Structure 1
């Protein structure tokens, strides 16, 4: 018998653990009735029992929660399209409701994850994650036309704020966005129309179904909001160019000093630097028009190598940097020359790195 009772108890516990906790509680409008029976005797003889009952209607508790998902800034690049800030919108009410959604932007001040809001994003739209995969897909997800329709009790829907990042923003620039949800009347499961604003019952509990705002933020208005922000990671490229007269093929035999005279070969060096602390620059390409009175040396383009740059004791300020030397011995032949222009693709210039391209020309 003891083993049997323990087994049954274990099954009961497992069943309870598998049942989800419903935050919204008993459905609004439900009737709860409590009855009492009084039994008694007179002269040792049992009499007819006396009964009494009390009933009340469960009132409607309105509580919605808008919360950023992930609690981290969204890293973006200048000019990026469809940058995503993700939120979870939950109906913790004990009734089916609509939730009106609006997106807004901070006008300066502290952003959600540090830094100061200093720019606005463009083309702000709100989408619902229809397939609930946590990934924005413009083909699969649905734009929100002002509200979330018929949100069930304890239902959560993932919502994306989708924005475009303007060009010209620098590393560390921050744009803060806010998603606000406001409770609206549901339509008893009938979709396709936004309900009216919900009004809280005042004057105390009535015999019918009353409405009570139970906002978690303590401001009892049926409204919830949260912030996310976009933080820019940009590449900051600068370029330096220098030239060196080569001793090879110099027009004066036996010369030990070299000058820019006709027939001399000049090696040009282009150094592209990406400032530290930002994003990698990709698909970096150079285009250099050969100056007049020079002739390109065929197959002389080399991509890669090292450069020595004098920062004039002002690191981080490329305006006064000077290119002092280049070494292309570690580079590889590449690029092209056409219509008087040297073209070469460097590829990626990592943050804090310098890449070079060299080519040669003779002075006419």
Structure 2
């Protein structure tokens, strides 16, 4: 939890060692509600004789300056997979006010337009929600606290907030997934508030109401504490200056695998020994299956391939070969590959040839070949 506080000076060295993300920060300006007193003294003489000193004192109360800054700590769009759940963008919320405040937190999808880092917002993440860093370990974990507010953030303190979303377009089934390169931009807004309740004794909070500033036309009360909004605008989200809130954006960018599969067949022999074998009963047909991942795509993992041998054919035992080089127009060669096995790659009960490739990275190709005889 990136929370900075003036009371940290009282924390032991051991506590700092186990919570290195907690750092000390000084309050911002003179505390709201403080009384500033100034006294003028006048000494004088009459007929050369010093007279009793006269004095006058003025006291006024420091008003509350409300200023909050939201920023993303992501240096670039967060790379996500199609269908990924709990994708995380990271923000900080800093209380630049001269008073302890609560802050309401709201995360929303941007609706089109330019993204935060590059490109354009092109889809909305699902199940958008907000978590506050509370377990002391940087980066979102499941035991951080889902919250709608920050509670009791002291002047100068900074809290880390996570926005989570699922990378699906619709739940389905089957689920509709965003395509490779698509961008979802999210906006986190923090609004100055009071009355939020702490969750589990942490800075994560619930409830609370947005505070209002003293109407600008109201005369300044010398003995009362007025509230003045001093926050900056954040134009990309439509946020304006001096409204008691601030916002920031971050992006998710989909990095999906772009798999393509091609299947080829060629007759390698027939029962009459033709120079150019024909696909007659008794002929052996060799199948070549090629799976490729495109340039710039994400690595595909656990790529499971299965091919049911047609009922008009019989699988040739021991014919499975894996990862041989492809030779156009239709041949999976033995170059660089290795033999499969009937035990691992053929199910006689379902007459299915199969294999799971652990991964296929961008620009990589995997092949599987097997033979079957025409009945």
TM-score (norm 1): 0.83
Structure 2 partner of 1:212: 228
- C-alpha contact 2:192 2:210 (8 A) present in aligned 1: yes
- C-alpha contact 2:27 2:154 (8 A) present in aligned 1: no
Structure 1 partner of 2:145: 142
> Aligned-residue CA RMSD in angstroms?
2.4
- Say if 2:267 is the partner of 1:252: no
Rounded to whole Å, the distance in 1 between the matches of 2:102 and 2:109 is 23
Superposed CA deviations along residues 141-162 of structure 1, whole A, max 9, x for unmatched, are 0111x22222222221111111
| 1:342 Cα offset (Å) | 0.4
| 1:173 Cα offset (Å) | 0.6
| 1:187 Cα offset (Å) | 7.3
- Say if 2:126 is the partner of 1:122: yes
- Say if 2:310 is the partner of 1:328: no
Structure 2 partner of 1:318: none
| 1:91 Cα offset (Å) | 1.4
- Say if 2:115 is the partner of 1:111: yes
Match of 2:258 among 213, 218, 236: 236
Structure 2 partner of 1:293: 312
Equivalenced residues, count: 328
Structure 1 partner of 2:209: 196
Superposed CA deviations along residues 330-363 of structure 1, whole A, max 9, x for unmatched, are 2112342112100111221111222111111122
- C-alpha contact 1:184 1:194 (8 A) present in aligned 2: no
List alignment gaps of at least 5 residues for structure 1: 1-18, 310-322
- 5 Å-filtered alignment, 1:1-364, equals 22=26, 24-42=28-46, 45-138=49-142, 140-144=143-147, 146-166=148-168, 167-186=176-195, 194-202=207-215, 203-207=218-222, 208-217=224-233, 219-247=241-269, 250-253=270-273, 255-308=274-327, 323-334=329-340, 335-338=344-347, 339-364=350-375
List alignment gaps of at least 5 residues for structure 2: 1-22, 169-175, 234-239
Moved over 6 A (4+): 187-193
Residues 1:94 and 1:246: Cα distance change in structure 2 (over 3 Å): same
| 1:21 Cα offset (Å) | 6.0
Rounded to whole Å, the distance in 1 between the matches of 2:48 and 2:198 is 58
TM-score (norm 2): 0.81
- C-alpha contact 2:197 2:206 (8 A) present in aligned 1: no
- C-alpha contact 2:185 2:251 (8 A) present in aligned 1: yes
Residues 1:342 and 1:21: Cα distance change in structure 2 (over 3 Å): closer
Equivalent residue of 1:200, what SS?
coil
| 1:48 Cα offset (Å) | 3.2
| 1:103 Cα offset (Å) | 1.3
Rounded to whole Å, the distance in 1 between the matches of 2:327 and 2:119 is 35
Superposed CA deviations along residues 58-114 of structure 1, whole A, max 9, x for unmatched, are 100011111111232111110101000111111111112221111111121111112
Over alpha carbons, which structure has the higher Rg?
A: 1
Superposed CA deviations along residues 283-323 of structure 1, whole A, max 9, x for unmatched, are 111100001222112122111022245xxxxxxxxxxxxx5
Rounded to whole Å, the distance in 2 between the matches of 1:307 and 1:40 is 107
